[in-house]
Amino acid sequence: MIDVGLKIQSSPAVITIDGPSGTGKGTIARAISNWLGWHFLDSGALYRVLGLVVRRDRLDISDEDQMASIASNLDVSFVGMEEGTKVYHDGLDCTLAIRTEECGIVASRIAVFPAVRKALLSKQHDFRLSPGLVADGRDMGTVVFPDADLQIFMTASAEERARRRHNQLKGKEICASLADLSRDIKERDERDVTREQSPLKPSQAAVILDTTAMSIEEVTDKVKILVRKRGLT
């Protein structure tokens, strides 16, 4: 006999925005989460916080077991502010500290470890809360949330992404060489695309957006149209 009083609880809706660094996916993901009033996950920040811990404590980056152990106990939270999203580790604001190029390079090297990605997988799932989640990363649609209601994959030329990153760092008064940024981006792309665990690639269901010649406003408007078409507003 079926109990008609029971209701099947569906999981909160998810929008995934994947792609390499410098495509604007983080900016767009935050804008869409604010527009919808949904939760926000910057998965890359999880790896950057891990990289920050490794650099701070001068740990052996080649020790996969140790990296995975730290990842499984990582305490990270995101707080939306008028000026953007703040990232907290163990209750301390680490937003600026994790955005250095050095921290990003360490994070990229740690991200190739299967044990680390497995340790962070359940933590990422924990961000899936009502009324919904906008997740920014590299494997959100292919691995973390393959059942997402809308999957987007952003691309842009390496040269344009380096220029954007250079301007971003200048705005934060962080010195960086455009040539070095371009080289680092290409090297990171190679690591992300060729790694065995969760390589960077669009899912079959993803809508691909090339943002090379698009403004933030143009990309945001395009994504809003996609969100409305999926009936997520």
What is the domain-level CATH number for residue 78? 3.40.50.300
Whole-angstrom distance, CA of residue 129 vs CA of residue 57 = 33
Confidence of residue 16 (pLDDT cuts 50, 70, 90): very high
* Domains held by the chain: number: 1
b/e per residue 143-169 (b: at least 16 CB within 10 A): bbbeebbbbbbbbbebebbbbbbbeeb
pLDDT of residue 4: 43
Model pLDDT for residues 93-118, shown as the tens digit of each residue? 999 999 887 898 899 899 889 999 99
Print the domain residue range for 99.
13-223
Q: C-alpha angle with apex 168: 117 to 80, nearest 5 degrees?
A: 60
Q: Is residue 2 domain-resident?
A: no
Tokens of 80: 């939306």
Average pLDDT, the chain: 89
Give per-residue pLDDT as tens, 173-196.
777 888 888 888 888 888 888 887
Centre a 10 Å sphere on the Cβ of residue 99 and count the other Cβ atoms it contains: 17
The verdict on residue 233 lying in a domain is: no
Closest of 31, 138, 131 to residue 85, by C-alpha: 31
Residue 20, pLDDT above cutoff 70: yes
pTM: 0.85
Q: For the packed helices 158-171 and 178-194, what is the interaxial angle rounded to 10 degrees?
A: 120
* Start-to-end Cα distance in the chain: 37
Stretch 121-134: mean pLDDT: 94
The reply to whether 229 falls in a domain is no
Residue 6 inside a domain? The answer is no
Pairing state of beta strands 39-42 and 132-137? parallel
Whether 5 is in a domain gets the answer: no
CB 43 within 8 A of CB 135: yes
- Torsion angle in degrees (nearest 10) through CA of 230, 156, 188, 123: -20
Q: Which residue has the higher pLDDT, 127 or 8?
A: 127
Residue 230, domain member (yes or no)? no
